[in-house]
Structure 1
Amino acid sequence: MTTSTTDTSWLGSLIDAVISLMDIIGPVGAGVAIALENLFPPLPSEAILPMAGIAAHDGAFGLWEAVVWTTLGSLVGALALYGLGAWLGLERLRRIADRLPLVDVSDVDRTVAWFHRHGGKAVFFGRFIPIFRSLISIPAGVARMPLWRFGALTTAGSLIWNTAFILCGWFLGSGWHIVEQYVDVAQNVVIVVVAVTIVALAAIRIRSLRAKRSGDSASGPGDTATDEVPVTSGR
């Protein structure tokens, strides 16, 4: 039987419900749980993966089964978001950006251009960053990164991340909850940094828009080219 969490919040209850899948359908349940984690970022893999390791240690299924199925779940969830990005496409994303108050169409173009240059590193290392590991799949789809490359990088990064946390659960057993506190702190720090960065970027964008509007109003319609045409005598 897999150990449940002691958190009584809605998220703790959701984690317990997802973890119970491992008790019902074994390692496949662990894979389904991690696929859901990719699609619903608030669901933390840092809580699910060690539970899979504990279940493997208790003999519910093999350690290699936990690693294989959770990595497969990561890939399936990432491919679903990649498909969403590919369905949106660059032109549709530009139209959406044009309707958003703090987003400019040029921002989309710069992001896609950046992804073409650094997308491989972003997809691989993004698997180690909470929330970002889910969201990075969408621009990969928009940029139409070759599917084989996206799949290989996602699988490699997920394999490392999943194996590390499953082994933590395997070796620490019930003592995992002691380490989990520190993992939660680290994850919260990352989330706060991401949130602060988003707020800072929004503030910069607002200031830029205000400066642009001020410049436009200062120039006014009368500042356009209004050179007088010399009057000829007609002689």
Structure 2
Amino acid sequence: MFDWIASLLARGGYLAFGWLMFLETVFPPIPSEVVVPLAGFLAAEGTFRLPLVIIVGTLGATLGAIFWYWVGMRIGERRLRKLAGKYGRWFTISPKDIDKTGEWFRRRGLWAVFLARMLPGPRSMISVPAGVARMAFLPFLIATTAGTAIWTAFLAILGYTLQSQYDRVADYLDPILWVLLALAVGYYVLRLIRQRSTG
């Protein structure tokens, strides 16, 4: 996966980078933890410029977050509760979970979005409950952009600082990535089994 991302960035430039960041938010298995530091490394080599890496990366990821916000708005809490009642066991979520999440989100939505955008796990999907809870778009956009900018800047500067050592670090990224993906799948299967045993 690392070689594919490196090749795509080298050929596609900022457009490819922004597109990858959009996809990273829409489809979480494409990790920003690989894409952004690599772009930072390319900036250290002179292929990219670091400020543009941060701006383009933030823009791409924010557009992906807006996509999921719109999906949440379209689904709505009532429809989501019905879907959870019918198909919730496959998503390891129940109608009661929807109610609890909605109540919590309405109280702490702004900070939830801001902080979640800097966490590798929930950063991609926090926009869905924001849309479902019908959080006002402007606060959502501000919190999303701010959190995304901090996360992107941190990863880009990390890749920029590592420079030539990034090649050595990259050798460890692929196996770590696949381990994280396997853990995520394992966690889902475990929740699925528990959901069936209590259902």
- TM tier, smaller: 0.7 to 0.9
Decide whether aligned partners of structure 1 residues 149 and 194 sit closer, same or farther in structure 2, where only a CA change above 3 A counts: farther
Identity of aligned residues (%): 35
Cα distance in 2 between the residues matched to 1:197 and 1:91: 24
Cα distance in 1 between the residues matched to 2:53 and 2:183: 31
TM-score by length of 2: 0.83
Mapping 1:1-235, distance limit 5 Å:
12=1, 15-100=2-87, 102=89, 103-179=93-169, 181=172, 192=183, 196=187, 199=190, 203=194, 205-206=195-196, 208-209=198-199
Amino acid at match of 1:99: K
Cα distance in 2 between the residues matched to 1:190 and 1:127: 19
Cα deviations by residue, 1:200-231 (Å, 9 ceiling, x for unpaired): 6962x55654xxxxxxxxxxxxxxxxxxxxxx
Amino acid at match of 1:97: A
Hey, what does 1:220 align to over in structure 2? none
TM-score by length of 1: 0.71
Provide the aligned C-alpha RMSD in A. Answer: 2.9
Larger radius of gyration: 1
1:53–1:170 contact (8 Å) kept in structure 2:
yes
Unaligned runs of 5+ in 2: none
2:29–2:181 contact (8 Å) kept in structure 1:
no
2:40–2:159 contact (8 Å) kept in structure 1:
yes
Which structure carries more relative contact order (alpha carbon 8 Å, separation 6+)?
2
Cα distance in 1 between the residues matched to 2:136 and 2:65: 14
2:34–2:173 contact (8 Å) kept in structure 1:
no
Decide whether aligned partners of structure 1 residues 119 and 28 sit closer, same or farther in structure 2, where only a CA change above 3 A counts: same
Cα distance in 2 between the residues matched to 1:101 and 1:171: 44
Decide whether aligned partners of structure 1 residues 19 and 32 sit closer, same or farther in structure 2, where only a CA change above 3 A counts: farther
Cα distance in 2 between the residues matched to 1:157 and 1:69: 14
> Secondary structure of the equivalent of 1:132?
coil
Deviation (angstroms), 1:50: 1.1
Paired residue total = 195
Deviation (angstroms), 1:182: 7.7
Cα deviations by residue, 1:45-71 (Å, 9 ceiling, x for unpaired): 111111111111122232111110000
Cα distance in 1 between the residues matched to 2:163 and 2:11: 20
1:169–1:176 contact (8 Å) kept in structure 2:
yes
